[in-house]
Amino acid sequence: MPFAEGYVLPVDKPLGWTSSDVVRKVKVLLRRLGHRKIKIGHAGTLDPLATGVLLVCIGRATKRAEELQAEQKEYLAGLELGATTPSFDREHPVDRTYPFEHITRESVEEALIDMYLAGVSTRQVDDISRLLWGERMPSQTLSDKLKKVYEDIDRWRNRPLTDRSYPYLFVDGVWHKRAWGGSVENVSVLVAIGVDDTGHREVIGVTEGMKEDKASWVSFFQWLRGRGLDGVKLIVGDKCMGMLEAVGEVFPDAKYQRCTVHFYRNVFSVVPKSKVKIVAKMLKAIHAQENKKASREKAKAVIAELRAMKLKEAAKKVEDGIEETLTYCDFPSEHWTRIRTNNVIERLNREIRRRTRVVGTFPDGNSALMLVCARLRHVAGTQWGNKKYMNMKHLEAAIDDASIAG
């Protein structure tokens, strides 16, 4: 048999053998058949305590290992509820037991819904359901439980904001695909994170913004104000004309800080790749100064240097946009690193994108909104907790300053 041309050998791996053990034994057999210099590998790995099919790739078939690993597989396992071992597998005897009588089919279904909303794909939820009961969770059960969860999320999304003030507001939009009028379009979900007067972060607003235009932002901001949002001193976000106009209209007393990271990226868009690193150092030097006056002076020097480097477009972008990136200087210096970028919301947006990429295209706006809200609530609840994001006493001490009080 021409093994060198490529051959996939399915082996029923016995208990106790490693995947490498199987490969070694196949090599011995091939040598006995006269095939001494031939590549051999395995597609995937089976634990020594697992039995079943292991695909051994021989010769040119080793190039197909990744392709074969991606094929659908089926695993059968026996579970013992309420028992653990030191290694969490069968290599050691059970050392602890726990009560499990309270675990019911209904409680497991609730957990599956929570998993789905926390970022686990529907396929994985379906696989777990089949593993537990040998069948999918009934669609009506899933629908009824999702309806209950959606109602809870909607109450959270529309909760009053009247019991405290939010001096700092971070806003952004994240895009996803949804079905619209028989076609698939890109629409945005608008997100707002507030830092309250005690210094804690909170997701205070999430809504679908359609095209992220002025009308969407005005509606979003008015909805926040209608729920009691008050005391906003600074709004941090990327430069979006629709959003900027909406800020002036709905929050006339608040100041606007353009995210410095987005500002840098905008400048880099007209800078050759070979010069991005040096330009990045120049821009960061502007925002490393001890006050706004020094930053302005540094910006003038950077603009002149960019022109000397024949980067006229970059110089123009810095000249036109630098002032709106320096608003943070009007606030306590202890807060500067927190309020001059939109990083706090960008991290959440990455979580949203991770989850929405799994879904692909949403059938409607509500399903996308509910999933995003659930994910944001989960991340904020599990990762933020009661941790203070900044010490607001510094702002209280400076609030008499007319430049902040507005």
Give CA torsion, residues 396, 402, 404, 406, to 10 deg.
120
The residues that bridge with 63 in the sheet, in sequence order, are none
Q: How confident is the model at residue 34 (pLDDT cuts 50, 70, 90)?
A: confident
User: Are 375 and 118 a contacting pair, CB within 8 Å?
Assistant: yes
pLDDT (0 to 100) of residue 346: 82
Distance CA(242)–CA(240), nearest Å, equals: 5
The predicted structure's pLDDT at residue 312: 96
pLDDT tens, residue by residue, 173-216: 877 666 555 666 677 788 999 999 999 999 999 988 766 688 88
- The pLDDT, as a whole number, for residue 182 is 60
* Percent of the chain topping pLDDT 90: 48
Is pTM beyond 0.85 here?
A: no
pLDDT tops 80 at residue 234 = yes
Query: Which has more confidence, 77 or 123?
Result: 77
112-116, 158-162, 402-406: the lowest-pLDDT one: 402-406
What was the pLDDT predicted at 11? 95
Question: Using an 8 Å Cβ cutoff, are 317 and 307 in contact?
Answer: no
**Between residues 81 and 382, the one the model is more confident about:** 81
**Averaged pLDDT for residues 302-320:** 96
The average pLDDT across 301-309 equals 96
Judged against a pLDDT cut of 80, whether residue 277 lies above it is answered with yes
Under the banding of pLDDT at 50, 70 and 90, the label for residue 316 is: very high
pLDDT in tens, 70-87: 888 888 877 788 899 988
